[in-house]
Amino acid sequence: MSLLQSPALRSISAPIQSKVLQSGAYVLSIVPLPSHYAVSASSPDNAIHLFDKSRLDDVQTLAGHDSSITALKHAPSLAGSSSPVLVSCGKDGVVKAWDARSPSAAPIMIALTAGKPQALLSCDVSASGTTIAAGTELQGEDASLLYWDPRNPAAPLRTHSSTHSDDITVVKFSRQSNSVLLSASSDGLLCTSNAEEVDEDEAALHVGNWGCSIAQAGWILKQNGSSSVWASSDMETMSIWSDELDLVQDIDIRLPSVHREDSTWVTDYVIGSHNHSNIFREADNDLSLFVGSNEGDIALLTRSTFSNVDASWVLSHTWTTGHTEIVRSVLWDEENNVLLTGGEDSKINAWSAPAFDLSDRNKREIDAMDVDKLDSPARKRPRS
């Protein structure tokens, strides 16, 4: 597989703003709120930090969880309210929600696992805000999908314990259906379930077996209204699946690379994805992939289609020298034209956001290019 350089490659070597968590914790995730960015910090901090969007000033710290924060989400509503919420879960077995318009020290909702606390590794809120789902760590022989009604979160509404047989690392509600939940696990399975079905035997919709531990997964919403699924593994492989979880493509994301005498780009790991609908006017893939290097550099890779195994990856943007260690989180804030990144160096960086100005002609030129004909290098720092 080849990695081609976009004719409009943007290489950015300095962030607009940069802040450092004084605790020295890793920056695990970043989500947007109406007036702030919310950042979750690793142990021993385990707090949620709110930063002003205009200057990245640290304006408030929320007491997150008693142990590791494992997921941080922004939801447009909860329990029928029109107010956006900030939702988190942790290994303390708790899901918390705050009013995203004016966060305070007190969460507006706390959901607890039943009986002995079960460590939660993932959570999400349905598009309607009427259901919260979370996935647990393997406890004994069980890893469970837990569902809460946010109007009565004292105990799970129902529990599904036979969908997965190992840590449930991902839960993502479909944005096209309030009831369809995507889950992924260290057991190698991707599953879709009916979150409203009480009988677990009847809840399963589709299952895909990748055969490797899954670290990340999500929906890909296409311009034509259809959807598919992407996933990445602990071994930095990536896969694309149909909406019925048939495997479309399995890729080692470290293979597409640029090697030149003056510079190189080699992907070391997947940071995250962004579902964008306007990169290519005629593209049948709306997924952009953020990848990183062990030196702390970041790149954005796109691909016009996943249906053709020979289609090239395109290196469209790089952001370098802002981080000195592995980048753990990324947020593309399209509304404010900013890219936020957070890393193991405790830094939160704000960068100029990706800008796509590729015509259909440029797209066709990219498709036709040969990697050996590239005239300008990718701008990753030389590997030592």
Integer Cα distance of 328 and 29 in angstroms: 7
- Buried b / exposed e along 6-26 (16+ C-beta atoms within 10 A): bbebbbbeebeeebebebebb
Q: Is residue 378 part of a domain?
A: no
Rounded mean pLDDT, 334-345: 95
Any domain includes 384: no
The reported pLDDT for the residue numbered 109 is 94
**Per-residue model confidence (pLDDT) at position 365:** 39
Query: Looking at the domain assignment, is residue 290 inside a domain?
Result: yes
What sign results for the dihedral spanned by CA atoms 48, 51, 57, 59?
A: negative
At 82, the pLDDT band (50, 70, 90 cuts) reads confident
**pLDDT of 382:** 45
Given pLDDT bands bounded at 50, 70 and 90, which one contains residue 279? very low
> Residue 9: which pLDDT band, with cuts at 50, 70 and 90?
confident
Instruction: List the beta bridge partners of residue 288.
Output: 274, 302
What percent of the chain stands above pLDDT 90?
A: 68
Number of domains present in the structure of the chain: 1
DSSP summary character for residue 327: E
Inside any domain, residue 29: yes
Give residue 276's pLDDT: 66
Range scoring the smallest mean pLDDT among 17-26, 101-110, 204-213: 101-110
Q: Is 382 inside a domain boundary?
A: no
Which pTM does this prediction carry? 0.90
Mean pLDDT over the full length of the chain: 87
Band (pLDDT 50/70/90 cuts) for residue 280 is: very low
Least confident among 219-228, 318-327, 366-375: 366-375
pLDDT value at 231 more than 90:
yes
> How far is 46 from 120, CA to CA, in rounded Å?
14
Q: Which residue has the tokens 């997947």?
A: 270
The pLDDT of residue 377 is above 50: no
Predicted pLDDT at 371: 36
How confident is the model over 188-211, as pLDDT tens digits?
A: 999 999 999 999 999 999 999 999
pLDDT band at 309, cuts 50/70/90?
confident
Q: What is the pLDDT of residue 284?
A: 56
Please report the DSSP string for 191-245 in residue order. Answer: EEEETT-SSHHHHEEEEEE-SS-EEEEEEEE-TTS-EEEEEEETTSEEEEE-TT-
Encode pLDDT of 26-63 as tens digits: 999 999 999 999 999 999 999 999 999 989 998 999 98
- 156: CATH: 2.130.10.10
Cis peptide before 34 (omega within 30 of 0): no
Cβ contact 20:36 at 8 Å: no
Structure confidence at residue 1 (pLDDT)? 61
CA 354 to chain centre: 17
The answer to whether residue 319 is domain-embedded is: yes
CB 348 within 8 A of CB 41: no
- Strands 180-185 and 168-173, sheet pairing: antiparallel
Q: How far apart are CA 131 and CA 123, in angstroms?
A: 11
pLDDT score of 257? 86
Note the pLDDT tens digit of each residue in 242-268.
999 999 999 999 998 876 665 678 999
Return the closest-CA partner of residue 303 out of 294, 295, 311: 311
Residue whose entry in the numeric block shows the structure tokens 């979750």:
40
* Greater pLDDT, 355 or 198: 198
Does 383 reside within a domain?
no
Percentage of the chain beyond pLDDT 70 is 87
Q: How many angstroms separate the CA atoms of 259 and 12, rounded?
A: 20
Q: Could you tell me the two tokens for 99?
A: 């009013």
**Which residues are CB-contacts of 173 (< 8 A; sequence separation ≥ 6)?**
124, 125, 126, 127, 131, 133, 180, 181, 182, 195
- Which is nearest to 27 in space by CA: 19, 39, 37? 39
Question: Which pLDDT score is estimated for 261?
Answer: 64
Q: Reply yes or no on whether the pLDDT at 146 is more than 70.
A: yes
Is the per-residue pLDDT at 213 higher than 90?
yes
Q: What average pLDDT score do residues 358-363 get?
A: 42
Q: Which residue has the tokens 């079960």?
A: 118
For residue 367, pLDDT beyond 60:
no
The residue that leads in pLDDT, 249 or 369, is 249
List beta partners, residue 94.
Answer: 112
Residue with tokens 């994301």: 253
C-alpha 235, offset from chain centre: 17
- Residue ranges making up the domain that contains 145: 3-373
365 DSSP assignment: H
- How many angstroms separate the first and last alpha carbons of the chain? 24
Q: Give the ranges where the chain is alpha helix by DSSP (H).
A: 200-203, 360-368
Tell me if 381 is assigned to some domain. Answer: no
- Mean pLDDT on 132-147: 95
Mean pLDDT across 337-357: 91
